[in-house]
Amino acid sequence: MKITEARQVDFNRITDLYYKLYPNRKTAKLTAVRSPIVKSKVLVAKESKRVDGFILATFVSYGKSKFGYIEELIVDEKARGKQIGSKLVKRILSWEKELGAEVVFVITEEAMEFYKKLGFKYTKNYTWLLWTPK
């Protein structure tokens, strides 16, 4: 058994497996297997030419699932407390919304209150399973 990247010739078999499990599903979802949409964006906050902060986020669209994830957000210590972080998050949330994201996730311990002020909620009601390396 080898694990390899799927190639064009493999898609008929992928289609068979999929419709055996989901005989009533429409084709739209499976076409995304051929070309899942993953986009990422990096925004910076600049004061003249100096970058005081940045945010990196991704957007994933697979069939009906459209969601975003904030990967990184850092504001220089010297520039904190001036709403730079909030502006970066708000701008990235508008981008996610434009693309159709229904939910945007972030993982943080230190900045939970910061994100709560921006409308984020805890995810205890979602059916998340987590994997972390040992």
Ligand X SMILES: CC(C)(COP(=O)(O)OP(=O)(O)OC[C@H]1O[C@@H](n2cnc3c(N)ncnc32)[C@H](O)[C@@H]1OP(=O)(O)O)[C@@H](O)C(=O)NCCC(=O)NCCS
Binding footprint of ligand X on the chain (CB under 6 A) = 70, 73-75, 80-86, 106, 108, 110-111, 113-114, 117
| Side-chain-facing half-sphere of 58: CA atoms under 13 Å | 9
Of all residues in the shown chain, the one whose CB is closest to ligand X is 85
In whole angstroms, the minimum distance from the beta carbon of 101 to ligand X comes to 17
In whole angstroms, the minimum distance from the beta carbon of 115 to ligand X comes to 8
In whole angstroms, the minimum distance from the beta carbon of 77 to ligand X comes to 8
In whole angstroms, the minimum distance from the beta carbon of 73 to ligand X comes to 4
Between 29 and 82, whose beta carbon lies closer to ligand X? 82
Identify which of 37, 43, 49, 47 has the alpha carbon closest to the alpha carbon of residue 70: 43
Distance CA(16)–CA(97), nearest Å, equals 34
Distance CA(11)–CA(111), nearest Å, equals 43
Between 15 and 71, whose beta carbon lies closer to ligand X? 71
Between 84 and 104, whose beta carbon lies closer to ligand X? 84
Q: What is the DSSP string of 98-115?
A: HHT-SEEEE--STTHHHH
Residue 84 has φ and ψ, to the nearest 5°, of -70, -45
Between 5 and 77, whose beta carbon lies closer to ligand X? 77
